[in-house]
Amino acid sequence: MEEMKKPVIGILSLQGAFLEHETMLRSLGAEMVEIRNRNNLASFDGLILPGGESTTMRKLLKEEDLYNPLKEQIEKGLPTLATCAGMILLARKLSNDENPCFGTLPVTVKRNAYGRQLGSFITRAEIRGLGPFRMNFIRAPYVTEADPSVDILSKVDGRIVAVRYKNQTALAFHPELGTDTRIHEKFLEQCRKWKKK
């Protein structure tokens, strides 16, 4: 029998919490490629935009000439999982920052939305189609407005913290920092389907 080829996942590794995603996805059988410059661009079956500092990532994406090729891939339908700063990179509009990045996700996102008092916290909430999930928020954003075409996957205290739009899944929290691999498993499933096309 022909051996099933591993899905190849590109992970934006300019800055931030990319290693944790990498470890989790590798443990689930994916092959990982760290994207740092144009030489790392290959034919991926999925893309991870990790947490970190979105302003730094946006600047480096442009400096490294990665902005256009990645945006094109996202628009073509490449399965994309974005966490925290990654969600900020995808948003079409930012309520407290004039510079959106890819703008491929029709939502408005507020950066550092929980303020200083509640900078970081852990809670448990329901994710549609998945069940309860332990969510780790670190100076997190949330979605303040979403186009009707966007699926709202989860809310915490009435605020939207997880959405899906076509191939793009964006989370305000960090699933890669826990031990629950369900979100990453679902993402890999999506990548395998995309690969078969």
Backbone angles phi, psi at 93, to 5 degrees: -140, 145
> Residue 184 catalytic?
no
Is-contact 56 14, C-beta < 8 A? yes
143 lines the binding site for ligand GLN (CB under 6 A): no
> Residue 53 catalytic?
no
Nearer to ligand GLN (CB atom), residue 18 or residue 165: 18
Query: Binding residue for ligand GLN (CB under 6 A) from 9, 47, 88, 101?
Result: 88
Site string for ligand GLN, 13-52 (x = CB under 6 A): --------------------------------------xx
* Alpha-carbon torsion angle 86, 90, 93, 94, nearest 10: 10
95 lines the binding site for ligand GLN (CB under 6 A): no
Active-site residue, selected from the candidate residues 21, 22, 101, 176: 176
Is-contact 10 35, C-beta < 8 A? yes
Query: Binding residue for ligand GLN (CB under 6 A) from 15, 37, 112, 181?
Result: 112
Cβ-proximal residues to 13 (8 Å cutoff; 6+ apart), any chain: 34, 35, 36, 50
Cβ-proximal residues to 2 (8 Å cutoff; 6+ apart), any chain: none
84 lines the binding site for ligand GLN (CB under 6 A): yes
Q: Which two tokens stand for residue 69?
A: 């090729």
> Residue 84 catalytic?
yes
Question: Footprint of ligand GLN on this chain (CB under 6 A)?
Answer: 51-54, 84-85, 88, 111-112, 138-139
